[in-house]
Structure formats: C-alpha cells, structure tokens
Amino acid sequence: MILVYATAFLMLQEGEAVPSRAHQNGPIVHEVSRLPDHNAFDIISKAFQAIGNQLIGDGYANKSLLEVHGLMDFDMPVQAIDQSAKSDAQVQFDVRLEGEITPNGMYRYQFQGGLGDIFMIRNQTIQATVSHEFKTYADQPLRTRNENANLQSFQSLILKKLGQVKSQILDSGHYRFVYGGTGYYAGRIVHVVRIFKPTYNQAPKKGPIPIQKLWTFWYDGGYEVWIYADNYLPAALFYTNIDDNIYANINIDYDREHLPRRMEIHNNSVGFDGAGELVLDFDAQRVLKSLRLRFDSQKGHDLMMDFDLTFSQNADPQRFKVLPPFGYRKVNRDHLKLLLTTKIAGEILNLKQHGVNIKNFKF
C-alpha cells in the first residue's frame, strides 16, 4: 500500500504530462528542481506558522460572538439516486440557518427547511433540541466540562483548532514528509511537499464513508501541498485517499493583502466528479464576513452554501439560557431523533412518485 501511495504522488513529479487522479483538472507547477538544504518538515512547519500569523490576526482577538445567517441548498436528479428511475425530475433539499456561536462552546441554531423547523441551544451546563413541527423538545445535562470553556475570543479558538491540526500532522509521528522540489506556479516560486500516512494490508473500500468518519477522513491518505517560497502560505493542495476513494485538489487565490479570496475546487472522486469554488470576503480588520460555496458534479449534484458572518464583542450569556418551550411535550433524545428521522424519511419516500426504488438506499 505504501508503494501505491508513493506512485500516486510521484506521477506528477518534475511536471510530467500524466497527472495522478488527484491532480486531474488542477493547476500545474513548472520547472521543478530539487534544491539543496530544503526540508519538507521544516517547510510545512513554517506554513502552519504563516497561517497563524498572517490569516488569524488581532481582528478576532476581542470577538466573543459570531452570528451566522445563511442558506444551504442541494439539488440532484432522481436518476442520480436511482439509475432505474424514469423521471428526469430534480430532488431539492434546502435548509435556512440562523445562529449564534461563542468560542467557549455555547450556541443557538434555528434550522428551517428540509429538516423541518428545529431549534438547538447549548450553554455550559445543558443542551436542548426543539422541534416546532412536532411541538416536542428534549434536553440533556452536560456531565463533562467543555474543552473550550475557558476560551474568550475567536482568535484563541481558531488558533487552538489550527494547533490541533498541526499536532495531528507534524507531531503525531503517523505521517511521512517528502520534499518534491521547487518550481514556478502563477509566476511565483513554490515548494512542493508531499505528506502521506502509510497504511498496511488494507483493501480499498467500495462503499461510502461511514458518517462517523466524515470529520476525520482527512487523517488518512496523503497530501501534496504547494507552499509559496516568499511568505509560506499554501498555494494549492492535492488530496489522495485510495482507501476511501477520495481524490481532490484546491488552488487558492490571494489578494494584495495576502487574504484568501477564492478557492477553486476539483473533486475527482469516482461518482462525484465535479468542480466548484469557495469565495471569501473580509472586512477592513481582516475578519471573515461571508463565504459562498458552489459545487456542481458531472452527474447533476448541485451544492450551494451562502453564509453571512458577523463577529462582535460581549456575548450575552442570557441569550443561551435554556427554557422549556411553553405548551411543548418533553421527550427523551432518542424519541426526538426518531421523530426527526421519520420526517426526513418521509421526504425520501416522496421520491417514489418519480419511480425511485427505495430499496436502493443504504443507511
């Protein structure tokens, strides 16, 4: 398996014409040559330091509240779900979100749309979920202390998360680092670094990623990262995860202030090939104020996310006080999950009118 990963990453070595699957439709680095006294581990270490110093500035230092307003929309053709279906109709799933978040782990979210009308809230001692559609709610005391309970600003939270990623990549001892050379991309000098996690005697998975792995799949597989030589910010990233059949690349455009304004995304994973972009906007203090994500797959899956963000000071703890909604029935969390799952399943069952065979779904 190590040989397979090494071969996948070396296929684009020295700017060769045949790209690996992760590199398909992505940018190309030119005139790559290996320079003496360049170390892959040191380059990646400097990149993490540059991200923390240049992108997570003092604009976040006194911000203790984040307000989020946005829309998520997902469209797909019925035939993308069931190829035997005869309908050419589109299936649409959309969710509107309004929320407030604090760096110490408190939140309140209001979801409306395909999930129903749901309110979720959490403070330091209790969390609750309310379904306005079913007029029910469930709450649960928090028995353990939130790991972020002492954080007072979003700068401290973001730097902590960045530190956790850095620790996973650089300090865990699970990854290998290879200096792939130095070349030219977009008229600038970039260092090419390859990072991979060796695996042994594992057959590639044929099914989808388990839902519990959605947030940790990036631990596995390998990366090729291009780092600008002048400021050590990342220019492009290529991800190869043979075991989970994930192949993708991202290239990043920066403005004159070295803020990432646009990320072009190419997903080359089998069955979900497509392209998209993430557009970011910042205020005068270099604080993120909006993000727009678009992704269109070759099979007609369209994903759209639009979020407006407002960072401010002095979050009011009273906003996160959990009060039982008047006239609503209290149920246990498993019961409420069942009600919400039934709601979602009902949306899926509506696909039968388009000739979709529900037996083709696997949960």
Judgement on whether residues 113 and 262 belong to the same structural domain of the protein: no
Which of 11-15, 39-43, 330-334 holds the top average pLDDT? 39-43
- Domain carrying residue 76: 65-101+106-145+271-356
Lowest mean pLDDT among 60-69, 88-97, 159-168: 88-97
Judgement on whether residues 277 and 258 belong to the same structural domain of the protein: no
Alpha carbons 42 and 259: distance in angstroms, whole number: 23
Instruction: Kindly report each contact of residues 111-115 with a partner whose C-beta sits within 8 Å and lies 24 or more positions away, as own/partner.
Output: 114/344, 114/347, 115/340, 115/343, 115/344
Which residues lie below 8 Å from residue 201, measured CB to CB, with a gap of 6+? 1
Judge whether 168 and 219 are in contact, CB under 8 Å: yes
Bridge partners, residue 267, by sequence: 248, 274
Half-sphere exposure of 122 (CA within 13 A, CB side): 18
Tokens of 337: 């999950």
CATH number for the domain harbouring residue 294: 2.50.20
pLDDT on residue 4? 38
126 within a domain of the structure (yes/no): yes
55 within a domain of the structure (yes/no): no
Tokens of 262: 């646009």
Report helix, strand or coil for 17.
coil
Place 215 in a pLDDT band, splitting at 50, 70 and 90. low
Bridge partners, residue 84, by sequence: none
Lowest mean pLDDT among 80-84, 88-92, 134-138: 80-84
Tokens of 25: 């439709």
Residue 38 above 90 pLDDT?
yes
Closest C-alpha among 136, 121, 127 to residue 328: 136
269, 295, 311 — which closes off a domain? 269
Judgement on whether residues 263 and 287 belong to the same structural domain of the protein: no
pLDDT on residue 297? 86
242, 269, 296 — which closes off a domain? 269
Judgement on whether residues 189 and 117 belong to the same structural domain of the protein: no
Judgement on whether residues 17 and 97 belong to the same structural domain of the protein: no
223, 244, 269 — which closes off a domain? 269
50 within a domain of the structure (yes/no): no
363 within a domain of the structure (yes/no): no
Place 294 in a pLDDT band, splitting at 50, 70 and 90. very high
CA distance between the termini of the chain? 29
What is each CA distance from 322 to 91, 104, 121, 129, 331, in whole angstroms?
A: 36, 16, 7, 10, 16
Judgement on whether residues 265 and 304 belong to the same structural domain of the protein: no
Residue 214 above 60 pLDDT?
no
Alpha carbon 215 to its chain's center? 8
Judgement on whether residues 257 and 293 belong to the same structural domain of the protein: no
Between 85 and 239, whose confidence is greater?
Answer: 239
Judgement on whether residues 94 and 140 belong to the same structural domain of the protein: yes
Judge whether 234 and 47 are in contact, CB under 8 Å: yes
What is the chain's mean pLDDT, rounded? 84
Residue 301 above 70 pLDDT?
yes
pLDDT digits (tens, 9 = 90+) for 224-267: 999 999 999 999 999 998 887 889 999 999 999 999 999 999 99
112 within a domain of the structure (yes/no): yes
Q: Are strands 136-141 and 329-330 parallel, antiparallel or unpaired?
A: parallel
Judgement on whether residues 91 and 125 belong to the same structural domain of the protein: yes
Average pLDDT estimate for 282-310: 93
131 within a domain of the structure (yes/no): yes
Alpha carbons 30 and 184: distance in angstroms, whole number: 5
pTM: 0.82
Average pLDDT estimate for 281-288: 97
254 within a domain of the structure (yes/no): yes
Lowest mean pLDDT among 1-5, 65-69, 148-152: 1-5
Judgement on whether residues 2 and 81 belong to the same structural domain of the protein: no
pLDDT on residue 217? 61
Judgement on whether residues 81 and 31 belong to the same structural domain of the protein: no
Residue 41 above 90 pLDDT?
yes
pLDDT digits (tens, 9 = 90+) for 123-174: 999 999 999 988 999 999 998 888 999 999 999 999 999 999 999 999 988 8
pLDDT on residue 319? 94
pLDDT on residue 19? 64
54 within a domain of the structure (yes/no): no
pLDDT digits (tens, 9 = 90+) for 258-273: 999 999 999 998 878 8
Place 361 in a pLDDT band, splitting at 50, 70 and 90. very low
Torsion angles phi and psi, residue 278, rounded to 5: -120, 120
Residue 362 above 50 pLDDT?
no
Place 350 in a pLDDT band, splitting at 50, 70 and 90. low
pLDDT on residue 201? 56
pLDDT on residue 80? 58
Judgement on whether residues 212 and 76 belong to the same structural domain of the protein: no
The number of folded domains in the chain is 2
pLDDT on residue 333? 84
